[in-house]
């Protein structure tokens, strides 16, 4: 179960170059994907699009006593 990547595109210190480097090099737990430059660009555009859909950080939700939540 990896980290939430919804807002990786706009996260401070991350962004398109970071995403490309991460995917190309990989980590101990994530394989290096042998993607072409076009595929990397498409992947970055996908992250840009999901970033624009909203904020996924659970800290952005106000938790009410009746069990409901509201977006702050």
- Contacts to other proteins by CB under 8 A: 1, 3-4, 27-29, 31, 49-50, 53-54, 56, 58-59, 61, 63-64, 67-71
Least distance (Å) from other proteins to the CB of residue 20?
A: 19
Distance CA 67, CA 26 (A): 40
Least distance (Å) from other proteins to the CB of residue 38?
A: 18
Q: Which is nearer to other proteins, 1 or 17 (CB)?
A: 1
Distance CA 17, CA 22 (A): 9
Token couple for 13: 């210190």
Q: Which is nearer to other proteins, 30 or 41 (CB)?
A: 30
Distance CA 23, CA 13 (A): 16
């Amino acid at each position: 179960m990896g980290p939430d990547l919804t807002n990786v595109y706009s996260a401070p210190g991350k962004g398109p170059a970071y995403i490309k480097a991460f995917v190309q090099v990989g980590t101990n737990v994530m394989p290096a994907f042998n993607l072409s430059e076009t595929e990397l660009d498409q992947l970055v555009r996908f992250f840009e699009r999901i970033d624009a859909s909203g904020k996924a950080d659970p800290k952005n939700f106000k938790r009410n006593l009746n069990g409901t939540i509201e977006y702050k």
